[in-house]
Structures are given as structure tokens and as C-alpha cells.
Amino acid sequence: MELQETYLRAILATVARQTFSPVKILEIINAGEKQHRAFNLCDGSRTQAEIAKELGLDSANFSKSIGRWVDEGIVIRVGERREMRPLHVYPLPEALIKKDSKK
């Protein structure tokens, strides 16, 4: 990752944390642990299909989730059409995911 990209991601995460608390992101995701893990995998390094395959998610349903997350502003799409990769505003803390999944 280039230094410039690192800085841009840090700025995105800082601004996003002022807008969306981790609890608010959990509310927006509004699903089980697999969806929370899928959100964290949206780090720009994998395509949507790769994330769905890695977690055993239905690709059509996951596509709808990604679309909803983009509409809500917690994920952006980066890259060209075929190689488009979802990028979260910042990852959720693992402890919060585990805590939420116990509810």
C-alpha cells in the first residue's frame, strides 16, 4: 500500500468514526456474525464474490447487503466494474462482533 493510500484510508476512518459509531454500524448491518465478518473483510483487498465464497454466503443476498451498506454510507466500491472491491469505512472491533453475536 502506498503512503498516500494509507493516509487517505486513515482520513476516511477518522471522519467515519465521527459519523458512525461501531454500535451504529452494527445496527446498520443488522445481521448475524457472518455478515459482521463479511463487513470486516470489505477492506478493499477482495472482490465481493471472494468475500461471499470465503464465508459461504449466498452471493445474491450478499450483493444486496453490499448495496444497502453503500446506500447507508458504511461501504464504498473501489476499482473497475469487474474487479470492484468493497471498502468499509473502518473495521469493527472483533470483541464487539463477538459480544453482539451472543445476544
Residue 79's pLDDT is what?
A: 87
Residue 73's pLDDT is 95
Cα–Cα distance between 100 and 46 in angstroms, integer? Answer: 25
Residue 53 belongs to domain with CATH number: 1.10.10.10
Residue 103 is predicted with a pLDDT of 55
* Helices 22-29, 33-41: inter-axial angle, 10-degree rounding: 120
Domain span at 65: 3-101
Q: What is the pLDDT of residues 53-94, one digit of tens each?
A: 999 999 999 999 999 999 999 999 998 877 889 999 999 988
Mean predicted confidence (pLDDT) in 29-58: 93
| E strands present in the chain | 75-78, 85-88
28, pLDDT greater than 90:
yes
The pTM (predicted TM-score) of the whole model is 0.85
CB 12 within 8 A of CB 85: no
Helix (H, G, I), strand (E, B) or coil at 11: helix
Task: Give the distance from CA 94 to its chain's centroid.
Answer: 13
Backbone angles phi, psi at 30, to 5 degrees: 50, 55
C-alpha cell at 25: 454500524
Confidence of residue 32 (pLDDT cuts 50, 70, 90): confident
Q: How far apart are the C-alpha atoms of 50 and 39, rounded to whole Å?
A: 13
| Tally of domains in the chain | 1
